[in-house]
Structure 1
């Protein structure tokens, strides 16, 4: 049985950031990565604009798994599914290996949530959450002339705009009454919608997708208002669910994600969770900046200098070239008691305030996104 100082389950952005951070501090600790896919390093946000840039999956690879493992002195167990974690003997079990650890990190990521619907194409929708998913569906994406995007959150909006920029006919369906309800006030959302409609994107809000059926080479999509749409492909961007199955099986504390403390430690000794699967301070922070901050702190903890994760307000850039948006802070919920708007020809600055009239969040658009950094410092 092989023993490693650090064993990481998963090979996404969080895992790669952690390895780089550990190696900046310690060149000698033995590190193993166990992953179900090949383990290549790539920049996940680039998935949002592969169509307009006409990029293949291989174009997105920053380093192959072999190159990364060699550069950072990592033992890679690729295309290996973890079946069980023995928390008492500190052993990770795959179908062919038993790997022992001093410290274990779960970086298992998250999977696309697919809302329930009926029809004989129920299992034939496309998700677009990883390099592996894109690689498997490249031919279908290339052949499709019309695409329905289910989900009008940040990812759905980005993807719909990029598909339209690539020349495809795009329909976006969002069950809520407006787009990006978790991030944008109504006034800004209306401007975004106008920019998308100017790209000939057909937008349906307040409706669900009830049924998807095959008809020849097309798919028939029945909406909750009874209307039927004809498209070549349907892609689902309805949010992510943290992958907590292994953690649950190992009897770690789990809520929406794997519950961790301020050191990213789980409820079992010497087991940590990082990235989209982790729930810290009651939240799953599925953005790159929190992962970078968390990986830096966890690397220090794993190399004998326990370090708390401190997550400041961070800037989110929405990749919608026709209507650039940046945002940060608290933008929804009971804490937001009022909004102020400064609207000019060059864009909008919208600020959210709490009951004490304190700035708690902001949204900037178009040319005024350059005002984000002083606002971020104010937050």
Structure 2
């Protein structure tokens, strides 16, 4: 039997979801897809993540090249359909080609609506609708200082989020009296505006744009009241309009959109339509979930299994912009007198919950700040459940889930929707896991598309997978800093830098769980320090105990004090001070360390600031993920084998870098000849004196693991050797993962890449690294000097435990 030719115009989410449903029915089709864009089908919901730098284009692909190849789909990228001859069943492309079809599926989506504002054609004015728009905005962000986003709806706020992440100031201008007026009531709009302004975005409401100013390029925006905002970029996000031009040329019935019936049929029996271009029962849907519902019905119709009906969708919006969680669904306005409102507001925590009840059923809801009940509410609205006794605790969390309880995901009916974006039910997920032996969330995502939208249902998907797969369940290792703040370090650096986040708690509130843990809080402390070159808001509660008191805690609760002895060199005066302090404060042990320093062991916490003050020396940072020391040999000063001045160079190197935090501890060595008496070849950074110059080596180790350092570069002068060491040091600070030692870093990144991006880099790149290092160094201080005089807080050097007498008294009373 000859295969029917199905031609699909449009390679977006709705069209390809429909094709996916068609393929499940094993149709007698050969399929061709015309894609105006040069990309595979990607998740438009995540365009803002690409704009913000959180994801790449490849990371938001829903269907990769393999999917098209595996299903024998001919994908024509960069091909635009310009006409449809429905009488002869031919599609004409922009290249003049004619493509015959038996069945035609229009998934042409929508176009950005551009209001008739004077100056919209100027350079620097963009829409935000697809990947091409995103790339143009990203390019403009490189040189722009201030952007105006016209439109305070869902799309406008997503655009504002991405642009802000690129380090550009943003003003959102909205015609209505509240943001997201289609999805929120007045109170919800107020909550959202306040939270967005906290992030540094300016918001102008009830503001009508009159003109985009400038000659060839935009330099400002004028409003109807005569006021002006200076701007060098404008993004128009004023809504969408169905793309119906081809449908009109094909002679289809068109109102606002392409008119379809409940079977998703158009006025032509061989032409079908799905997605944002469609008008069904007078409604046009711009959200993803309804489009997937339409696709399932259309797949049945087009493959000859006509029967399922599309009867409309309950609209629901879920949004997370820079930590602001928002959800709205159904009829939340409650404008009729027979509708009741149950509401809760907490301005301090930015939480607003509203439930609209009609005839003992939930018909609409708004959730801001806490959307944990979004899935539960959406199911109640869709199923028209009677509330009954649930009303008293409708807005508050139910008891923690236990197996078999109503909040346990496996206790839900199979018909419950788990993924609201894509419209995947619990039953579909369970069936896929059992039928295909799925073991990871990624496999479930690939098979069912559940959690491939906004991703907020991933926890529910994992819960189902754990219950169904049992012992076969496999936890996926994610390349993220921590589960508390699930982003890779490099993405976090970009977000911290572009949004000028300078406090650990701000990062946790916006991108994490708001709490953090003992792993991610110290890591974030280092990252904000490094990104802002020491110009950050220090939060001692996010540091390890060692960093909070600038001493290394011992197994008995006492501390060790290690003064800095640059290059391993000290003096009689310093030794006298150390001896006097050790005697005065009854220090149990003074030990020579392997780092050519003296360690005072067994110091009481309350004695730390007094010892520091009397020593008058600099902290050796023997307790921190920071520069520890530079070990040196005597070099040309005294040794008859010395070829270079290792003592002076070692002191210089240590002086240049001391006091700076690093991803993990950094130990260095400088030797005057290849005999390597100070073991530079097994240090994180080593300088080895040779005849006529220096070898700079990196990535050595001599702990649990022994590794010979790699030669980074060979140079002639001490100045060149020091500069090379500094270049690598700053590169490691910026690119190393937290707790990753240099020897692991060198192996992971590769020696050649490190060379190309440090010692062999352009002069501009080198200058950037050295300038950022100099800024950080300028902000570093000797904590012993500062905090011995003025502690961070009164209890910094006091144990928060009861004295023995108090403990005894309590025991006697008991």
2:140 corresponds to = 140
Deviation of the 1:357 alpha carbon = 6.8
Change (3 A) 1:266 1:218: closer
2:344 corresponds to = 342
Q: Distance in 1 between the 2:81 and 2:168 partners?
A: 39
2:184 corresponds to = 184
| Post-superposition CA distance 1:116-145 (Å, at most 9, x none) | 111385475111111132234431133323
The farther-off stretch of 260-269 and 43-52 is: 43-52
1:92 corresponds to = 91
* 1:306-325 aligned within 5 A: 306=306, 307-313=308-314, 315-325=316-326
Is 2:107 aligned against 1:107? yes
Deviation of the 1:334 alpha carbon = 5.7
The farther-off stretch of 328-337 and 217-226 is: 328-337
1:361 corresponds to = 364
CA contact (8 A) 1:4 1:100 kept: no
Q: Distance in 2 between the 1:216 and 1:114 partners?
A: 19
Change (3 A) 1:236 1:35: same
Q: Distance in 2 between the 1:128 and 1:217 partners?
A: 18
Deviation of the 1:353 alpha carbon = 4.3
Give the TM-score taking structure 1 as reference length.
0.90
- In structure 1, list runs of 5 or more residues that go unmatched: none
Greater Rg over alpha carbons, structure: 2
Root mean square deviation of aligned Cα: 2.5
Deviation of the 1:338 alpha carbon = 5.3
1:81 corresponds to = 80
Deviation of the 1:58 alpha carbon = 4.9
The farther-off stretch of 251-260 and 141-150 is: 141-150
SS of 1:6's equivalent in the other structure is strand
The farther-off stretch of 323-332 and 243-252 is: 323-332
Change (3 A) 1:141 1:57: farther
Deviation of the 1:215 alpha carbon = 5.9
1:238 corresponds to = 238
Question: Among 373, 376, 381, which residue is 1:374 paired with?
Answer: 376
Q: Distance in 2 between the 1:362 and 1:139 partners?
A: 39
| Post-superposition CA distance 1:35-74 (Å, at most 9, x none) | 222241211111123243344545544555x444212211
1:36 corresponds to = 36
- In structure 2, list runs of 5 or more residues that go unmatched: 382-814
2:356 corresponds to = 352
2:276 corresponds to = 276
Q: Distance in 1 between the 2:81 and 2:28 partners?
A: 25
Deviation of the 1:101 alpha carbon = 1.9
| Post-superposition CA distance 1:186-218 (Å, at most 9, x none) | 111111100011112111111122111236976
Is 2:159 aligned against 1:159? yes
SS of 1:176's equivalent in the other structure is coil
The farther-off stretch of 112-121 and 344-353 is: 344-353
Q: Distance in 1 between the 2:56 and 2:50 partners?
A: 7
Change (3 A) 1:166 1:324: farther
Deviation of the 1:253 alpha carbon = 1.0
Deviation of the 1:279 alpha carbon = 0.9
Deviation of the 1:83 alpha carbon = 2.6
Q: Distance in 2 between the 1:31 and 1:280 partners?
A: 25
Change (3 A) 1:28 1:219: same
| Post-superposition CA distance 1:282-327 (Å, at most 9, x none) | 2111111111121122112221101322444354211223320111
Deviation of the 1:169 alpha carbon = 0.7
Deviation of the 1:242 alpha carbon = 0.5
Q: Distance in 1 between the 2:255 and 2:27 partners?
A: 35
Is 2:297 aligned against 1:294? no
CA contact (8 A) 2:334 2:340 kept: no
CA contact (8 A) 2:85 2:249 kept: no
Q: Distance in 1 between the 2:158 and 2:82 partners?
A: 35
* 1:151-230 aligned within 5 A: 151-214=151-214, 219-230=219-230
Q: Which has the higher contact order (CA 8 A, sep 6+)?
A: 1
Determine which structure has the larger strand proportion and give its number.
1
SS of 1:34's equivalent in the other structure is strand
Q: Distance in 2 between the 1:59 and 1:138 partners?
A: 17
Deviation of the 1:373 alpha carbon = 2.3
CA contact (8 A) 1:41 1:63 kept: yes
1:255 corresponds to = 255
Change (3 A) 1:163 1:117: same
SS of 1:370's equivalent in the other structure is coil
Give the TM-score taking structure 2 as reference length.
0.44
Change (3 A) 1:126 1:275: same
